[in-house]
Amino acid sequence: MRTALTINRSWRALGAFTALVASSSAAFAAGIGQPVPWQMDRQVAVTENAREIHTFEHGLHWLSLLISLFVLGLIVWCIYRFSEKRNPTPSRTTHNTAIEVAWTIVPVLILVAVAIPSFRLLRVQLSDPKADVIVKVIGHAWYWTYEYPTDQGGGFTFDANIDEDKQPKLLATDNDMVVPVNKVVKVQVTATDVIHSWAVPSFGFKIDALPGRLNQFWFKADREGTYYGQCSELCGQRHAYMPITVRVVSDQAYAQWLTEAKTKYARIEGGSKFADAR
């Protein structure tokens, strides 16, 4: 009887696990640039910068693991080797120049080894390639405004508020930012009230939106899809409710969207921008 119960329980657990995996992959299929249930790693990287960040981070984790195991090994060895039973008369050594030099120089070398790829990554991030598309992003409490300049086929402005009826929950907006795939997109970021931060994990992109200052960063997404981000600087009561949705589309789809957007957002330029804001 007990065996039958155990088997039954195992099957139920297996069923629950399968359902969990199925729901995770369903969520994954829904959109690539978003978190998924039970996610243990970063969101998928679709820019060179994001991939480099992930590689660097993984390298650091392995290095930390090695150092932790080494220290743990030393501690365990000391506990075993120098216990009262095995080492009844403790050594009275207080200095050992060779060891002191080693434990100073080795960590310095490790830090230098970490600094080299770190600075290389920073140099790539601070490079300033020629922009194919420029978008101005303005943070407000608590929504984002996107401006597409006239000289690039734009000439319109729109607000992106959270759309709580859409999925993924708390990440979808009523109006999405749209950019072409495989193009250098420069994002100029500022704010009108308090400090916000415009961040999209899949692009390896995060930059503060500061009132009175124009910050700039760029990304070049090499995979079409919808990517989500959130304001990443605590900015008040509805900080958690000002998400970022970016659709990366083909050149043709982008050109078509520009044409449609000019009509769709024309009314906003007429002065109803603030009236529409939440």
Nearest to 204 by CA among 189, 218, 188, 187: 218
The one segment of 46-54, 68-76, 94-102, 195-203 that binds Cu ion by CB under 5 A: 195-203
Quick one: which of 177, 235, 246, 268 contacts Cu ion (CB under 5 A)? Answer: 235
Note whether 42 and 56 are within 8 A (CB). Answer: no
Which tokens go with 135? 């978008």
| Beta carbon nearer to Cu ion, 46 or 137 | 137
* Coarse DSSP helix, strand, coil percentages of the chain, rounded to the nearest 5 percent: 45, 25, 30
Q: How far is the CB of 237 from Cu ion (least distance, A)?
A: 10
| Beta carbon nearer to Cu ion, 231 or 249 | 231
| Beta carbon nearer to Cu ion, 198 or 254 | 198
The one segment of 17-25, 213-221, 223-231, 252-260 that binds Cu ion by CB under 5 A: 223-231
| Beta carbon nearer to Cu ion, 128 or 193 | 193
Beta bridge pairs of residue 188? 136, 216
Structural element, H or E, at residue 144:
strand 143-148
Is 231 an interacting residue with respect to Cu ion (CB under 5 A)?
Answer: yes
Nearest to 212 by CA among 188, 191, 233, 236: 191
Q: How far is the CB of 148 from Cu ion (least distance, A)?
A: 21
CA atoms within 13 A on the CB side of 76: 6
| Beta carbon nearer to Cu ion, 210 or 253 | 210
Quick one: which of 196, 204, 218, 258 contacts Cu ion (CB under 5 A)? Answer: 196
Applying CB under 5 A, which residues contact Cu ion? 196, 231, 235
